[in-house]
């Protein structure tokens, strides 16, 4: 117990006396006595310094964390942006693909229409199949460059830069002209515009004093006086409906020209066709004579419209 008390007293004395530090410089010893307050002060300073360093460290770490968080946010936004752009690109491509396919269908429909017109107006001089094939094979390809080229080519093809439309228009105009010409020819062919024979116009259509009967009587045609044997021609193309004796007309030829028109040639000396024959316009069908009720060789010429006798004079435009 006494020993413990002594140790405590010594410790107290040592604390009060301070820390003795002894340096040996050569053979001389230097002794420092450090005050306990100084030591406590040093400890306090050291602790404060350490705490400042630690606080600084923590602040730096916090700043770094914030920076990382901010960068993470930037990255997330960038990714979202990229995803959106990618989506938009896909949508744009899908749209371009769709539009291209629409153009392609439109082009095909137009080609079909043009082919139908070509079938009517003539042979298509344009070889478009090669170009169309190149446009159709890329239908399923979606590379943006391929798509763009195809789109442009389709547009060009549709806007008729291939010139086919122009050719078609020219062909259609020629076709129409030809059709009109054919129609006019057909009309001319079946219209009795010729004189039935050479000679002079001796008696018109209408009421007149009959040369044999001696009284006013309706003359159902016109007379052209000519020498016996003068050729009588069909004034229009048609089908012969009679070539025989026909009462007062004597030996007569009748021809049906269609569209309600027919002609009659009377008092012939001979006929060179028979019923049922088809004759050209201007073809010789008989010869001038004086058969039937006639006073001299002439051709009695009648034009019938829907069965009624009409004045032939307005029809007679030329001799051949
Ligand atoms: Zn007559």
- How remote is the C-alpha of 103 from its chain's centroid? 9
**pLDDT at residue number 211:** 74
Which is nearest to 114 in space by CA: 147, 158, 145, 81?
158
Distance 154 CA to ligand 1 centre (A): 73
Q: In angstroms, what is the span from residue 185 Cα to ligand 1's centroid?
A: 30
Count CB-CB contacts under 10 A for residue 169.
13
Residue the block writes with tokens 């057909």: 186
pLDDT of residue 137: 61
Cα–Cα distances (Å) from 11 to 37, 180, 265, in that order, read 16, 143, 172
Give the distance (Å) from ligand 1 centre to CA of residue 254: 15
Q: How far is the CA of 301 from the centre of ligand 1 (A)?
A: 7
How far away, in angstroms, is 77 Cα from ligand 1 center? Answer: 110
Place of tokens 């989506």: 87
Tell how far the Cα of 314 is from the centroid of ligand 1, in angstroms.
Answer: 16
DSSP secondary structure letters along 209-269: E-TTT-SEEEE-SEEEE--TT-EEE-SS-EEEEEEEE-GGG-EEEEEEEETTEEEEEEEES
Q: How far is the CA of 253 from the centre of ligand 1 (A)?
A: 14
Residues 6+ apart with CB under 8 A from 289: 228, 229, 250, 251, 267, 268, 269, 270, 297
Write out the DSSP string of 136-201.
Answer: HHGGG---HHHHHHHHHHHHHHHTTTTSHHHHHHHHHHHHHHHHHHHHHHHHHHHS--B-SSSSEE
What separation in Å is there between the alpha carbon of 211 and the centre of ligand 1? 10
**How many angstroms separate the CA atoms of 305 and 303, rounded?**
7
Q: Whole-prediction pTM value?
A: 0.57
- Between the CA of 217 and the centroid of ligand 1 the distance, in Å, is 11
Residue partners of 46: CB distance under 8 A and separation at least 6: none
**pLDDT value of residue 193:** 94
CA of 131 to the centre of ligand 1 (A): 71
pLDDT tens string, the chain, 320 residues long: the values are 667 677 666 656 566 666 777 777 777 777 777 788 888 898 999 999 999 999 999 999 999 999 999 999 999 999 999 999 999 988 888 888 888 888 888 888 888 888 888 888 888 777 777 677 777 765 556 677 878 888 888 888 877 656 788 888 889 999 999 999 999 999 999 999 999 999 999 999 998 877 777 778 889 999 999 999 999 999 999 999 999 999 999 999 999 999 899 999 999 999 999 999 999 999 999 999 999 999 899 999 999 999 999 999 999 988 87
Q: If we measure between CA atoms, which residue out of 123, 97, 118, 91 comes closest to residue 105? A: 97
Q: How remote is the CA of residue 222 from the centroid of ligand 1, in Å?
A: 5
Q: What is the pLDDT of residue 68?
A: 96
Contact between 194 and 281 (Cβ < 8 Å): yes
The CATH architecture of the domain made up of 200-315 is Distorted Sandwich (2.70)
Question: Ligand 1 centre and the CA of 234: distance in Å?
Answer: 17
CA of 298 to the centre of ligand 1 (A): 8
């Amino acid at each position: 117990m006494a020993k413990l008390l002594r140790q405590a007293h010594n410790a107290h004395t040592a604390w009060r006396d301070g820390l003795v530090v002894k340096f040996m410089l050569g053979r001389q010893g230097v002794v420092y006595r450090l005050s306990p307050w100084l030591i406590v002060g040093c400890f306090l300073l050291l602790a404060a310094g350490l705490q400042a360093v630690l606080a600084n460290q923590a602040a730096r770490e916090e700043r770094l964390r914030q920076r990382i968080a901010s960068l993470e946010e930037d990255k997330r936004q960038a990714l979202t942006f990229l995803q959106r752009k990618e989506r938009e690109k896909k949508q744009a491509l899908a749209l371009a693909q769709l539009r291209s396919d629409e153009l392609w269908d439109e082009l095909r429909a137009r080609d079909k229409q043009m082919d139908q017109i070509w079938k009517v107006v003539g042979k298509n001089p344009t070889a478009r199949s090669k170009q169309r094939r190149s446009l159709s094979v890329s239908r399923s390809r979606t590379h943006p460059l391929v798509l763009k080229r195809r789109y442009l080519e389709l547009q060009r093809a549709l806007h008729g830069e291939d010139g086919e439309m122009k050719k078609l228009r020219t062909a259609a105009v020629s076709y129409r002209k030809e059709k009109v010409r054919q129609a006019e020819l057909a009309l001319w062919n079946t219209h009795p515009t010729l004189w039935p024979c050479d000679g002079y116009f001796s008696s018109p259509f209408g009421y007149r004093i009959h040369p044999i009967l001696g009284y006013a009587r309706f003359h159902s045609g016109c007379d052209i006086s000519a020498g016996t044997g003068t050729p009588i021609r069909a004034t229009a193309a048609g089908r012969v409906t009679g070539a025989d004796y026909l009462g007062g007309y004597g030996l007569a030829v009748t021809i049906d020209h269609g569209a309600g028109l027919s002609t009659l040639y009377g008092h012939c000396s001979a006929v060179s066709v028979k019923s049922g024959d088809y004759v050209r316009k201007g073809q010789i069908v008989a010869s001038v004579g004086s058969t039937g009720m006639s006073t001299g060789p002439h051709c009695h010429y009648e034009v019938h419209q829907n069965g009624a006798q009409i004045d032939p004079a307005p029809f007679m435009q030329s001799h051949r």
